[in-house]
Copies of this chain bind each other. A is one copy, B any other.
Amino acid sequence: MDTRIPKPYGEAVAPAQTLDRRDFLKQGIKVAGTAVAGGIAGTAALSAQGAEPIGKDFPAWSNTMGKGLSTYGQPSRFEDPVKRYAASGYGTLAPGTGSARSPIEKLEGVITPNGLHYDRSHNGTPDIDPAKHKLLIHGLVKRPLTFSIAELSRYPMVSRICFLECAGNSSGNAVAAEPPQVSAGNVHGLISCADWTGVPLALLLNEAGVEPGGKWLLAEGADSAAMSRSIPIEKAFDDAIVALYQNGERIRPENGYPVRLLLPGWEGNMNVKWLNRIKVTDGPTHTKDETSKYSDPMADGKARQFTFEQGVKSVITRPSGTMTMSGAGLYEITGIAWSGAGRISRVEISLDGGATWRDALLTGQALPKSVVRFRLPWEWNGSPAQLQSRAIDEKGNVQPTRKMYKAENAVDGRFHNNSIVAWGVDADGSIKNVYS
């Protein structure tokens, strides 16, 4: 057996990671080395054939001309089951009110393809003509301005990869008495990550000239729900973007076409889609969307009206609930982690329900306020196990347990649930959502 070390493992370790590279490489070799006799034998040895394919056995696609060129590609027809989980909150009465969650357990890497980015809408997706849409900046400014999309496109832009997460993500695990036995994406799929491009909001506010009394912003969407939220003006001068592009192309309709607000690391709802106006104010506007909704009832009977930053969080996406493991052997545990506070510095994995922890490998680049992918090879011996992941960010924030979340929040509290997710593996290989 060739013992040369695959370089991607070494390179993939993020600089911020405390994991010792050499230790991982040793471990990597061990996994690969034992694999032939152990778990992966279940993969490779069973399928060893030792023969080259024979002409008459070639499948049709190797003997006939393929499909012609296309101008806008689509997934293979065999990937049809890979879809968003769309759930309308009010059924047929308001089919656009609800959410479409990313099937995170079927996805890989860090970027969410545009067709599968999660979507939470309050009155459907408007069909906006970009030639007729304008962004108004007014209120406590020296001169109110409107910007057409063509005008916005003239300004200097920035690009950054960052996540968006709905405040209601993982609410099923927060409120259900028994853990819902659905897929990971069905519970935790209101998280996605894309390469966003647009104009720094600060540039546009500078054009309008903020008056000294301007301390907050009101951002309002052009949808018929007129979704609107209050935002401290400091965020605008930190990293807020008036975004026009999502993964290279114009933003998708359900994600705010032709223009949305992007507040990196802050709760999804504040990243106002179909952005229609920004009003500079002296305080929060207390809109319907931040009083009747998106406020957090706490255990002590009070409520938090504003929770801006999304907490540090992680989910193991494979193996995960509703999947079945096909016998003992080597598996890769993988998942995603993110934090509104900045970079993910470490993700720990427990295989025994939280008793002991070990570091996962972060692959790809651990960018700030972005999803990062973690991985850990796992030789499953066929006994029951309980998998958990715990993320830690560069500010030292640690993902809390579900018990900690429940102790702090009201009985029916369901927002901002960033608590540890646990998957129970039975001896028969079935995997269940469990509360740890």
Report yes or no: B88 in contact with A72, Cβ–Cβ below 8 A.
no
Minimal beta-carbon separation of A320 from chain B (angstroms) = 14
- A128 (CB) vs chain B CBs: closest residue: B61
A93-101, A173-181, A350-358, A399-407: which one contacts chain B?
A: A93-101
> Which 8 A-B residue pairs are closest in the complex by CB-CB distance?
A66-B124, A6-B202, A68-B95, A61-B126, A71-B83, A69-B86, A108-B245, A108-B197
A156-164, A413-421, A426-434: which one contacts chain B?
A: A156-164
Q: In the complex the two chains form, what is the Cα distance from A174 to B26 in whole Å?
A: 48
- A378 (CB) vs chain B CBs: closest residue: B156
Q: Pick the contact of A79 from B127, B194, B250 — CB < 8 Å? A: B250
Q: In the complex the two chains form, what is the Cα distance from A258 to B147 in whole Å?
A: 44
Q: Pick the contact of A65 from B71, B94, B222, B238 — CB < 8 Å? A: B94
Report yes or no: A61 in contact with B127, Cβ–Cβ below 8 A.
yes
CB-CB < 8 A to A65: which residues of B? 94, 96, 123-124, 224
Q: In the complex the two chains form, what is the Cα distance from A195 to B12 in whole Å?
A: 13
Count of this chain's copies in the oligomeric assembly: 2
Report yes or no: B44 in contact with A145, Cβ–Cβ below 8 A.
yes
Report yes or no: A143 in contact with B50, Cβ–Cβ below 8 A.
yes
Among A98, A128, A206, max chain B CB count under 10 A is at A206
CB-CB < 8 A to A124: which residues of B? 65-68
Q: In the complex the two chains form, what is the Cα distance from A142 to B2 in whole Å?
A: 10
Q: Pick the contact of A63 from B12, B79, B109, B224 — CB < 8 Å? A: B224
Report yes or no: B248 in contact with A109, Cβ–Cβ below 8 A.
yes
CB-CB < 8 A to A114: which residues of B? 73, 75, 113-115
Q: In the complex the two chains form, what is the Cα distance from A35 to B255 in whole Å?
A: 30
Report yes or no: A200 in contact with B2, Cβ–Cβ below 8 A.
no
Minimal beta-carbon separation of A219 from chain B (angstroms) = 14
Report yes or no: B73 in contact with A6, Cβ–Cβ below 8 A.
no
Q: In the complex the two chains form, what is the Cα distance from A239 to B12 in whole Å?
A: 10
Report yes or no: A222 in contact with B61, Cβ–Cβ below 8 A.
yes
A76 at the interface (CB under 8 A from B): yes
